[in-house]
Structure 1
Amino acid sequence: MTSRRLPAHVVRHGDLKAFAAGHEFRVVAPSLDDHAVLLRGEFRRERLRSGLILHTADTTDLYDLETCSVQEAGLTLSLFLDGGVTIWQGDRAFQMGRTTGDHGAIEAVMISRAQRETFRRQSMRGTHVRKVNITVLPHWLEESGLDAVADHRHAHAFSRTHLAAVRWRSSPRLLSLAEQMLAPPAFAPMLRKLYCESRAIDLITEALQVVAQSDQETDTPLRPRDLQRVRAVRDFIEAHLDDAVTLAALARHAGMSVSSLQRVFRAAQGTTVVDYVRSRKLRRAREALERDGLSVNEVAFLAGYASPANFATAFKRAFGVPPRNFRARV
């Protein structure tokens, strides 16, 4: 596969479809034609060598966007240097990168897919993302000597556990390598490819070392029954966003204890039940501002806030702009 760099500064719906050819890519929402500009910035995908794939992005979302595709079996290392999105692999949610206002440490995430799996991505308009993804296909691991990794049995077991994941605080070296891959020197194509390949191998080597040493902390997938319960809880929340639903009521609906619900929900969704409900109410309030032209006081009530000031604080923390300013620009 040759390098694909989409046109600088503009990424259209049709560009993304061509970029993800063979991966059953589609935009779930909103409904847009192929000429619609979805992102502004730089977007690149490149097969560095057989089984080693690099994807970099320095883009800003122009829509509240949800996309869906299918990913092959393999390991994917993700480093979000700026911004963040929510992704789903199958029924399992992962928060990638940092949310607006979060100035904590940058985390690296490694996710294992033991089989083909659906991939969904949700992001909000105005989100600026700078990221490096490296995907390693199974035959690359076999041919590249996974045995050379210290305590390789743990890393090998991780690579064969579907939707296992591990995250850790990125080292300064990891961040430096990612920055170099986002802005490689203006070498001739072959030299630039070798430059990125050497850094990708360094990144994967460090990631596999972390996986090998973090066996007891590896985030393993939930049982199908638990995933069904989480889906039922999500559906119940969606149907009762106007109500003051308690954790006890949600636990009863799912047929489990409150503590089990909190543990399973966080493992599946990457967030707590309370934060998930708050996020859904804030997103609905944002949609009401954008679509229905309601006042800030009205959407504060819709989101369950007695105080418009408290609502404004939560809204700005979630979306990076006060609701009054957001309404003015709609």
Structure 2
Amino acid sequence: MQKPSGAPPIHYSGHQLHRVVEPSDHVAAPLRFRQRHIEALAGGAGQSVQVGLPRHIHTETELSQGRILVHTPRPGFYFGAYDLEYLQDNRLSVKETPSLFCGLMLSGAPSRLDISGHGSVEVRPGTPLIINFAEDAVCEGFCKAGTHCCGIGIRLTRDFFDSEFSPTAATALRSLRSFMEGGTAVRMIGGSTRLNAIADQTLSGPCEQTLQALYLEGLAFAFLAELSRLEAAETQAASTELKPHEYRRVRRVADFLDANLERSISLASLSRLAGVNATTLGRQFQTIHGETIFNYVRARRLERARSLLRNGEMPVSQVGYSVGFTSAAAFATAYRRKFGHPPSREVLSS
């Protein structure tokens, strides 16, 4: 695919920040972003960003290439997604005002986010992250040249929570609002296949700007709704239905599964690890994650496989085996069922 040599024209118009799309531009060629483009995009999400560059890098140097989407469905509700390859080492410094950030990294290497007054937070692919900025703060992260990363996120301010909602919507948002009313805090929550599907649809949606605005509008609220459901379920499980040690037990099992996706692990083995019988473990696991252990493992394997395919880390024929599938046919079938296309297309699109 031929990559454009010029910088993408960035327009900001009220509630929608986008690049200008030519009538013939129906295929998303990767765009190249410079420092001023990144700062303009951040401004569209109500943030202030500083890009720290090595001394030998000029401010007009292209820093990354790929796709960045930013949309504001309503005041105080910012929705964005990115699928980027970093071309230069750079450090991003984001000035955060009081708000609630909820994000999900789909692929890329685990990284650290430094939050002033709070410390470091590890950002891991496949694990939703919620950060409440109770006061002004600065977040810093490092982007390494030659690496690829993609993800999705929302940022909610008090203006959003104070706006008018139907009684049903207000109830659905109650848990997130309660979290925002506390102090500065970071929470990792269990993901879901539905949340990952929304993220994938956001990044694979139409590029034509009129359709894109409508498309992102629906996905933004779908992402918020699923995130609210997951956070509320986890809060309830941790505070009422499940005791703290039961919650920690399930998280320990989930972390073990995430670290051993390539292995075939029996439910009996997990039960011994958790110290409870299989029925109890399965019920508590589903309470927190909203899906069975089997479905959780299959979804995480496929998400890991997609990351490997997009990064070109190994041949397609080896990816399925590396994440625990016992045959190439079984991997291809499961991949097509989840993402709607064969693994080979992921490599071609990358």
Q: 1:187 to 1:18 in 2, by over 3 A?
A: closer
**Equivalent position of 2:123 in the other structure:** 96
Q: Which residue identity lines up with residue 19 of structure 1 in the other structure?
A: L
Q: Please, which of 36, 40, 48 is the counterpart of residue 73 of structure 2? A: 48
Q: Distance in 2 between matches of 1:176 and 1:14?
A: 31
Q: Deviations over 1:80-102 (max 9, x none)?
A: 1111432223243222234xxxx
Match of 2:217 in 1: 197
DSSP-derived class of the 2:225 partner: helix
Q: Percent identity?
A: 20
C-alpha distance in 1 between matches for 2:233 and 2:171: 8
Q: Once the 2 structures are TM-superposed, how far is the Cα of residue 61 of structure 1 from its aligned partner?
A: 1.4
Secondary structure (helix, strand or coil) at the match of 1:37 reads coil
Residues 30 and 66 in structure 2, CA contact (< 8 A), matched pair in contact too: yes
Equivalence map 1:147-186=2 (5 Å): 148=168, 154-186=175-207
Which residue in the other structure is 2:282 paired with? Answer: none
Whether contact under 8 Å (1:90, 1:118) holds in the other structure is: yes
User: Residue type matched to 1:180 in 2?
Assistant: Q
Residue segments in structure 2 that go unaligned for 5+ positions in a row: 1-13, 21-28, 239-311, 314-350
Q: Structure 2 matches for 1:130-141, cutoff 5 A?
A: 130-141=150-161
Correspondent of 1:73 among 98, 104, 108: 98
Q: Give the C-alpha shift of residue 55 in structure 1.
A: 1.7
Query: 1:143 & 1:167 partners in 2: Cα distance?
Result: 27
Residues 1:14 and 2:39 are matched in the alignment:
no
Contact 1:5/1:43, CA 8 A, preserved across alignment: no
**Which amino acid is 2:134 matched to?**
A
1:88–1:119 contact (8 Å) kept in structure 2: yes
Match for 1:177: what amino acid? I
Paired residue secondary structure (1:133): strand
Distance 1:124-1:147 versus aligned 2 partners, 3 A rule: farther
Give me the whole-angstrom Cα distance separating, in 1, the residues matched to 2:88 and 2:237: 36
From 1, 10, 18, the equivalent of 1:4 is 18
Change (3 A) 1:50 1:155: closer
8 Å contact kept, 2:92–2:143: no
Q: Which residue pairs with 1:110 in the alignment?
A: 130
- The letter for the 2-side match of 1:30 is P
Match of 1:123 in 2: 143
Measured against aligned partners, the alpha-carbon deviations of 1:16-50 in whole angstroms (never above 9, x if no partner) come to: 23333474422234233221111121122222222
Cα 1:145–1:89 shift into 2, 3 Å: farther
Normalising by structure 2, report the TM-score: 0.53
Residue 227 (structure 2) aligns with: 207
Q: Which amino acid aligns with 1:196?
A: L
Distance (whole Å) between structure 1 residues aligned to residue 235 and residue 100 of structure 2: 16
Q: What letter corresponds to residue 193 of structure 2 in structure 1?
A: P
1:174 to partner: Cα distance: 0.7
What displacement does 1:4 show?
A: 2.9
Distance in 2, matches of 1:55 and 1:95, equals 20
Change (3 A) 1:51 1:152: closer
Q: Does the CA-based 8 Å contact 1:146-1:152 persist in structure 2? A: no
Q: Using the alignment, how far apart are the partners of 1:29 and 1:124 within structure 2?
A: 11
Which region of structure 1 is more displaced relative to structure 2, 170-179 or 154-163? Answer: 154-163
Paired residues, number: 212
Give 1:171 shift.
Answer: 0.9
Change (3 A) 1:130 1:24: closer
Q: Is the 8 A contact 1:113 1:160 kept in 2?
A: no
Aligned to 1:39: 64
CA distance in 1, matches of 2:104, 2:172: 24
**Equivalent residues of 1:60, 1:129 under 8 A apart:** yes
Q: Distance in 2 between matches of 1:128 and 1:178?
A: 16
Alpha-carbon distance between aligned partners in 2 of 1:14 and 1:144, rounded to the nearest angstrom: 35
Task: Provide the rounded CA distance (Å) in 2 between the counterparts of 1:133 and 1:201.
Answer: 12
Within the candidate set 4, 10, 26, 2:50 is matched to 26
8 A Cα contact 1:146 1:156, kept in partner: no
* Structure 1 residue ranges without an equivalent (≥5): 99-105, 219-319, 322-330
* In 2: Cα distance, 1:46 partner to 1:5 partner: 12
